[in-house]
Structure formats: C-alpha cells, structure tokens
Amino acid sequence: MARSALLALTLFLLATTAAADIEGGWTAQYNPRVGKLHLMMNRSATSQMWLSYTLDELPGLTHAQIESATQVPVTFRLRPDAGTFAFEGTFRNGRGGGQMTFTPNRGYASRIRALGLQLEKGDDAELFRFAALDVSLAYLREMRAIYPETNLRELSKLKAVGVTPAYLRDMRAVGVHVESARDARKLAGSGVTPSFVRELADAGYRNLSTRDLSRLAATGVDSKFIDDMHRKHKH
C-alpha cells in the first residue's frame, strides 16, 4: 500500500515537473531610431537571449506605455509556434523589465517530426530556444524547400542570424547565389546585406565570392573605406 502511494507520488511529481512552465525575467529598451524594442529574456543566470521586435509583433504593448514618463505596468504576449511567452512588468522612458513565463507547446515537436526534422532533446529548454528565435513551422518548410539537406540545428542557426527566403531572394537579385545553408549563415552572420553587395559593386568590386563578401563585411571594409584607400593608392 505504502509502496503504491510512493510510486503514485513519484509519478505525480514527475508529471508536474514535466508540465511546469519556465519562469524567468526580462528587460527591454526601445530604440526609436529603428522603431524596435530590444528585449532580453533570461531563464537562469547563464541563459540569456537578446531579441528585437517591432511593436506590432508584441500584442498588448503600446508605444504610449513604453515611452511613458511615469512608470506604468504592462502585460504583453508573444505566441511563436513553439510556445507562449507572457510578460509582466513595467515601462518608463523607453526602458522596461519584469517577470516572464514561458508555456511550451508540446505539439510543436510532433509537427516538426512531420516535416522530417527532429529536435535534439525535445525538452522545454529546447522549445524555449526555438520559441525565442521564432522558428516557425512555416519558416522550416520554406527553408527546407531551399536547402533540403539542412537539419533542424542548422535551420535554427539560420533563423538566429536572420536568413529568410526573402533575404536569399534579395541576395540573388544582386548577383549572389548562396549555394549552401552554411554560406547563407556566414553571409548573414557577417552582416552582408543586398545593399552592401550593391555598394561594393558600385565601388568596382563585382562578382565577389561569398567568402570574400563575408570577410569584407566582418572586417568592416565598406564602400567609404574602399574609396578612402583608392584615393591614396599609388599604382
């Protein structure tokens, strides 16, 4: 009898632990110049994520609240495919902070499997990461259509550096054919944008390889620097 009760209690505790939401904190700062809110979520002392959102991506939060001269309470939510973030806290003069609760969507894992992909651990922490990066099922489908051999880990990295089907289309339009997901990640991760490619082309540097583009962007060589150096260059 006692043993059965102990077993039942253990199972109950395991079940409640598995179903528990993830609690954490958040701080945010609004950048009016780019019209984005830079949001930092932390679920432990060592796990932090910095993300940027436009206000229309954050239902429940208004510009008036963010820029309020006095401290105002706020609640807002984010609903990516992998779960729901509920934020509570305050804002004043473009800065805010408070508590955050993440409720994982456990159906996400099975829907990912249906796409032929597999989460590594499938635990709540992994769902938190995919939710924070907003790795949506639609995104995975589109990117898999472009790079069919890419695994979920690489796809999440692509999302983290901002590689989207639109980015790849725009790069192709300026003459850069991004053959692999790895190249795409390097380009976007180094800050290569279609306008950067155009600037270089205007400065006389056309048909550069993805490697050269990444290296130039990563080291901060831009059209102004090229122009400065060529004015001083003696052939």
| 148 binding another protein? (CB under 8 A) | no
Considering the complex, what minimum distance in angstroms separates the CB of residue 51 from another protein?
A: 30
The verdict on 202 binding another protein (CB under 8 A) reads no
- The reply on whether position 121 binds another protein by CB under 8 A is no
Under the binding rule (CB under 8 A), the answer on residue 179 touching another protein is: no
- Identity of the residue numbered 8: A
The rounded distance, in Å, linking the Cα atoms of 171 and 188 is: 10
Task: Determine the Cα–Cα distance for residues 66 and 72; give it in Å rounded to an integer.
Answer: 8
Window of 26-34, 42-50, 112-120, 206-214 that interacts with another protein by CB under 8 A = 206-214
Determine, following the binding rule CB under 8 A, whether residue 204 of this chain makes contact with another protein: yes
Query: Closer to another protein at the Cβ: 31 or 219?
Result: 219
CA torsion, ordered 115, 53, 168, 223, to nearest 10 deg: -160
Give the shortest CB-204-to-another protein separation in angstroms: 6
Query: Cβ of residue 195: shortest distance to another protein, in angstroms?
Result: 18
Q: Does 175 interact with another protein (rule: CB under 8 A)?
A: no
Residues in the chain: 235
For residue 12, state whether it binds another protein (rule: CB under 8 A): no
The full 3-state SS of 160-226, as one line of letters, equals: HHCCCHHHHHHHHHCCCCCCCHHHHHHHHHHCCCHHHHHHHHHCCCCCCCHHHHHHHHHHCCCHHHH
Is 177 one of the binding residues for another protein (CB under 8 A)? no
Residue 53 sits in the site that holds another protein (CB under 8 A): no
CB of 186 to another protein, least distance (A): 14
Nearest approach, Cβ of 177 to another protein (angstroms)? 17
Q: Which of 152, 150, 153, 54 is nearest to 168 (CA)?
A: 150
Does position 86 bind another protein by CB under 8 A?
no
* Bridge partner list, 100: 24, 87
Using a 10 angstrom Cβ sphere, with 0-12 exposed, 13-18 middle and 19 or more buried, the burial of residue 92 is: middle
Q: Helices 194-202 and 210-219: crossing angle, nearest 10°?
A: 90
Q: Binding to another protein by residue 182, rule CB under 8 A? A: no
Positions that interact with another protein (CB under 8 A): 204-205, 208-209, 211-212, 215-216, 219-221, 225-226, 228-235
